[in-house]
Amino acid sequence: MISRPRSYVGLLVVPALSILLALLVASVIIIASSLIGPEKKINLLLPLVAYRSLLAGSFGNFKGIANMIVAATPLMLTGLAVGVGLKAGLFNIGGTGQVLMGGFAASLTGVLLTGASPWIAIPAALLVGMLAGALAGFIPGFLKAFTGAHEVVTTIMLNALVQLLVSGLVNDVFRAPGFSFARTAPVGNAELTGVAGTNLHFGVIFALVCIPISYWLLWRTTVGFEIRAVGANPTAALYAGMKPRRTMMLTMSLCGAFAGLAGAIEVLRLGYYPAVFGTSIGFDGITVALLGQSHPFGIMLSALLLGAMRAGAPLMQIQARVPVEIIDVIQGIILIFLAAEIVVRKIFRLRTPQEGTGELQTITRTYGEKVVG
């Protein structure tokens, strides 16, 4: 059975309610933590103050909206990196490593093409970033297809390995002289600079284009059909004459390419690659994909939502003195409610649909055993 969207309204209800419930639970946490926070007394209004400055930081003015879109841009891509994988029954939590690979490769390309015109340097750097990300995605895909090593473990291990390798390379080989910390040389003309006095940059277009492309790929092409068929049932796909192994490697490479592009955009926006590139976009992609129900347009919406939270969080930390890490807590709680869909439906007395999506069952089924053949 290849899952079809039930109906678009139906797809939106549970995520929206989960967000609502998560914000409620998070406000309880904020109230409780006001007791141990800097003021040491219970402040019942603190959640409202926090959420208001969160909104003001992301929707308050044109600059805020621009920041939100800029924050959402890489999240759409890392969301696709998880979501497209889920369609094939693969759970790609290696976004972090793929982002770092893509970003590092893009920065080197920028340094190499430092004299070239932006029209050449930017696309070239983004393309190389995508390819590097695809390579980082291909490795766990290959291991899963031919050895059965589950991608959840291998991708996490690769995240750590890529981080160690790339930071070692920046420190020992590509370190630019004259800076107080280890970083690469400036990417020169490949830098994605803001336009119209905001942080908006041309990379946004690349991310926005990937959304309809992946929709088209998944539902309008043979490759997409094979991806979804393998996700629904690899064994059946094999008997139907498809090649699940090839599809797995292809899907993981595609996922890696999306994440690599996200990393490339972030690094080109920064203008250089720092040895310690702390970014949460890889892991945020998991939330974005699950919240968006692995559907490209759902991923776009939830990336915008999470982007708004990320863009508004610094203002919230200044005004309400609630640490930005509350966003990570909210994400976690949203996911708990999404997973406990039945509970959410009971709370709001919604009807329970018959069967859930088939891909998720494939993920756990293939854990610790050979996938096909």
Partner 1 sequence: MDFLLDIPVLGFILQFLVYLVNVIGNGHIAPIILGLAAPIALGALCGVMNERSGVVNIGIEGMMLFSAYIAFMTALFVHQAFPAEPSQLFGATPALISGVLAGVIAGVLISLLHAWLSISIRADQIISGTIINITALGLTSYLNRLIKPFDSAGTFRSFRPPAGLIELPGVGWLFEMFTAVGPIAMSTIVLVIIVQILLFRSRWGLRTRAVGEHPKAADTVGINVIGLRYRNVLIGGVFAGLAGAYLTLEATGSFQNNMTAGRGFIALAAMIFGRWTPLGAFGGALLFMGSQAIGVAIRLAPPVGDLGTFLFGIQQAYPSLYNNFFTGLPYLLTIIVLAGVVGRSNAPAADGKPYEKESSS
Nearest to 93 by CA among 256, 283, 263, 228: 283
Question: What is the nearest approach in angstroms of partner 1 to the Cβ of residue 145?
Answer: 11
Quick one: 267 or 363, whose CB is closer to partner 1? 363
Q: Shortest gap between Cβ of 110 and partner 1 (angstroms)? A: 22
Least separation in angstroms between residue 305's CB and partner 1 is 16
In the complex with partner 1, the residue whose CB is nearer, 71 or 143, is 143
At 242, phi and psi to the nearest 5? -85, 170
Torsion from C-alpha of 141, 142, 148, 150, nearest 10 degrees: -30
- Closest distance to partner 1 from the beta carbon of 256 (Å): 16
CA–CA separation, 250 vs 254, rounded Å?
A: 6
Residue closer to partner 1, measured from CB, 127 or 324:
324
CB 227 within 8 A of CB 64: no
Q: How far apart are CA 103 and CA 170, in angstroms?
A: 12
Please identify, using beta-carbon distances, which residue of 52 and 341 lies nearer to partner 1.
Answer: 341
Least Cβ distance, residue 326 to partner 1 (angstroms): 6
| 125 CB burial (10 A radius; 0-12, 13-18, 19+) | buried
Residue placing its CB nearer to partner 1 in the complex, 62 or 367 = 367
Q: Which is nearer to partner 1, 16 or 325 (CB)?
A: 325
- Shortest distance, CB of residue 306 to partner 1, whole angstroms? 12
Site for partner 1, rule CB under 8 A: 33, 36-37, 91, 93, 143, 147-150, 152-154, 156-161, 164-165, 167-169, 171-173, 275, 283, 286-287, 290, 323-333, 335-336, 339-343, 360-361, 363-365, 367-370
Determine contact, residues 81/92, Cβ cutoff 8 Å.
yes
How large is the C-alpha radius of gyration of the chain?
A: 21
* Residue 96: Cβ within 10 Å count: 27
